[in-house]
Structure 1
Amino acid sequence: MVSGADLKQIVMLTYLTDPMRDRLAQIVDVLKFDKGEIIFKAKEPSTRFYMLRSGQVLLEQRISDQVTACVAAIKPGYSFGWSAMIDDEMYTVDAVCEAPCEVFSFKPTKIHKLFESDPEMGLRFYRRLLVIIKKRLDIRTEQFKQAIKNHPDMQALFQ
């Protein structure tokens, strides 16, 4: 069983009050994965939101059958699988355990019921989720810029 105190170690949940975390703890499952295990794959229906308690998760984007790019490394205290918080979405990357992992997870249908009964909780949660999405978008934009800048055919344009 997860407690509200356990959820304090998750960065995005530090913005919730203790009573809010206590209510959230009631719907959170603890899941364990081995090194190399795939938590979810791109294009699968996004059915859970994840918060890493221990271990490390790599978010990978398949470029081709032979090439996979790591687009993020999730450390303990951080969350992933945010596509699940958007209705009718699919995951956009693969989530692969780089080490044995323990994650807190919930189904969006359950948290949406909490948000209906506590709109302030929903507002705080989604504000933090937007920060995560923005940071990841900024990182991906920078990665894209560097890839273009370092491409041999483009280098003449930057001189």
Structure 2
Amino acid sequence: MTAIEDLKKIHVLQNMSESFLEQLIPHIETHNFNERDVIYEEGQKADRFFMLKRGKVLLEVEVSGLVIISLGSVKTGYLFGWSALIPDATYTTYAICSEPCEVLWISGREFLDILNRENNQAYIFMYNAFKILKGKLKRRTDQFLKVMSKHPDIQKLLGL
């Protein structure tokens, strides 16, 4: 069984009340994965929200049958599978372990139900999540602009 101390190590949950974390515990499952194990696939129904207790997970998309792009990685203490918090959504990437991992997960629906009962805690969670997602968006935007600036056609347009 997951302990409150495990949940307090998840960055987005660090400022949450113990009573909120106690409500999560009965709904959380712990699973171990090996290197290269696939946790979920792009296009799969997004029904679980994940917390990485140990290891590293790559988030990848298949551009074609021959090309796979890594969009980023998830480090210990961070969340992934955000799509599970949107009803009827699917995962938009593959989540693949780049090393042995210990993963906590909860049903996205169950997590949302608990947040709906705990408005104060929901606000704290959303604020913490916003800070994390803002950082991810900035990194992706910076990556995109860097790639675009190196594209030969863009360089011609810019006179480089």
Letter in 1 for 2:101: C
Q: Could you tell me whether the CA contact under 8 Å between 1:4 and 1:23 is conserved in 2?
A: no
For normalisation by structure 2, the TM-score amounts to 0.93
Once the two structures are TM-superposed, the CA of residue 130 in structure 1 deviates from its matched residue by: 2.4
User: What corresponds to 1:139 in structure 2?
Assistant: 139
Report matched runs for 1:10-159 at 5 Å: 10-158=10-158, 159=160
Aligned-partner SS, 1:43: coil
Deviation (angstroms), 1:67? 0.9
Matched to 2:109, the amino acid is T
- The question of whether the paired residues in 1 share the 8 Å contact of 2:84 and 2:109 is answered with no
Q: Distance in 1 between matches of 2:123 and 2:53?
A: 23
The one-letter code of the counterpart of 1:18 is E
Tell me the distance in 2 between the aligned counterparts of 1:28 and 1:19: 15
**Secondary structure of 2:12's aligned partner:** helix
| Number of positions where the alignment pairs a residue of Structure 1 with one of Structure 2 | 159
Q: Give the C-alpha shift of residue 153 in structure 1.
A: 1.7
Secondary structure of residue in 2 paired with 1:95:
strand
Alpha-carbon offset, residue 131 of structure 1:
2.4
1:98-120 deviation line (CA, Å, top 9, x unaligned): 01111111001212222232221
Structure 1: segments with no counterpart, 5+ residues: none
Tell me the distance in 2 between the aligned counterparts of 1:6 and 1:101.
Answer: 14
| Cα distance in 2 for residues equivalent to 1:61 and 1:68 | 6
